[in-house]
Amino acid sequence: MLFRIESDSVGEKQVPKNAYYGVQTLRAYENFNITGRKIHPELIKALAEIKKAAAITNMEVELLNRKKGDAIVKACDEIIGGKLHEEFITDPIQGGAGTSMNMNINEVVANRATEILGGELGDYSVVHPNDHVNYGQSTNDVIPSGGKIATIRLIDKALIQLQNLVDALLEKSVEFDHVIKMGRTQMQDAIPIRLGQEFHAYANAIKRDIVRIKRAGQDLKHINMGATAIGTGLNADEMYVKHIVPNIAKVTGIDLIQNDDLVDGTQNLDGFAAVSSALKVCAISLSKMSNDLRLLSSGPRTGFGEINLPSKQNGSSIMPGKVNPVIPEVMSQVAFNIIGNDLTITMAAEAGQLELNAFEPVLFYNLFESIETLAHGVETFIENCVKGITANEEHCREMVENSVGIITAIVPHIGYKDSARLAKTAINSGESVKELILKEGLLKEAELTTILNAYGMTEPGISGKELLKK
């Protein structure tokens, strides 16, 4: 391999001759061999958009000559379009508050712009990573702003899948609206409910999660570009500071707003923590739903057996014919991971000191993973589970008819004490509630038929007495 020699404040170093990254990126690559992964493509794109907007702004305020500026813009456009992403070699978890990521984009853009202008890679006399690409900026406003842009886009993709899940659950709620089953509280028989009502409740929980995530995501539209190192805007032209965020908004197509207080915007990462918290709550909803689906489908002969999940693969290497609820299982595992990531994000947001939080890299790594795994998990949950669920209608009806839980509907007519006595007798004797009431002559059969109408028991506000009046 051929090399070129580059130098920085630490000293000289050999850099691969054809590399678009430079010495500072290479040092970071060697220092931070942590995850074996690279910077997220959405973050690369966001950083390139920031560098493009910065070049445009610096040209507008006549602090960057048109020739260099146009070359920087062209290089950024190529990166935004997906080129040169292999040149971003720094690990996503790194020390230095993201300086290595910022220098990675600065060096790649500078070298590509130099090449566009006819220069050789590594000849920073043409376009310099710091003096030209990073002009008027700092890692401390570039990296949090890039992280917010990337997060907004990832959230948008996840929200599409969550809305798809709401739609799928609502379709099932209509399909199962007529299916009467026993409701359960604390894993014990309670009173009848329609299977469709359960699925409608799942849909509403996810609707609330969508609202929470959207609300939290709005805060990320406030970015601290123009803050430079600590929020005071040192080394940034006043007109640049005024126009940089509107130009980033134009480049990204996102209605971004500059932080009212750039010191606050540089110090604090609470907006990211809020997004992670909303994702955690959504994960809780999804895992609770997955728990329910596993219970309702348990069996097929010795469990609840009220619904059937699609058979996706063999469930055992030793037990023939066994099929496991693998999709709800993986959905819960995604949820566990998101919940764990939220703790890391919480600690990273808390750990900043004074004018800067140095722990954005690990926060972004976990946040991006949470959003992407949520989106992918929900997608497979919809396609490979929810859409294919069927109901065992007859089995559900039989369990309602044989349940002692329906005695609750009798309470307004014979009182709680007698109802409790009959429930205990039914459990011990195996006789049905209806048989015992008729045997003791407490109610007439016509009255019982009306009172014990299972569908009527699932409509809020309709008591047994009201039913008898109709």
Any idea which residues carry the catalytic annotation? 316
How many residues are listed for the chain in this entry? Answer: 470
DSSP H or E run through 249: helix 238-252
Q: Which residue intervals of 137-194 are DSSP H helices?
A: 139-175
Task: State the virtual CA torsion across 1, 131, 49, 22 in degrees, nearest 10.
Answer: 10
Question: Rounded to an integer, what distance in angstroms lies between the CA atom of residue 293 and that of residue 449?
Answer: 31
Query: Dihedrals φ, ψ of 356, to 5°?
Result: -155, 150
- Site of tokens 């006819």: 118
Question: Rounded to an integer, what distance in angstroms lies between the CA atom of residue 110 and that of residue 124?
Answer: 7
Instruction: Return the DSSP state at 268.
Output: -
The letter for the amino acid at 86 is E
Instruction: Return the DSSP state at 13.
Output: E
Question: Rounded to an integer, what distance in angstroms lies between the CA atom of residue 278 and that of residue 155?
Answer: 11
DSSP string, 421-470: HHHHHHHHH---HHHHHHHHTSS-HHHHHHHT-HHHHTSTT--HHHHHH-
Give the pair of three-digit tokens for residue 240. Answer: 């640049």
> Of 94, 79, 78, nearest to 37 (Cα)?
94
Question: Rounded to an integer, what distance in angstroms lies between the CA atom of residue 113 and that of residue 95?
Answer: 28
CA distances from 388 to 204, 292, 397, 400 (A): 20, 16, 21, 24
Q: In sequence order, which residues have a C-beta less than 8 Å from that of residue 378 and are 6 or more positions away? A: 158, 161, 162, 164, 165, 286, 331
> Of 145, 294, 293, nearest to 223 (Cα)?
145
The letter for the amino acid at 442 is L
**Do residues 245 and 256 touch, judged by C-beta distance below 8 A?**
yes
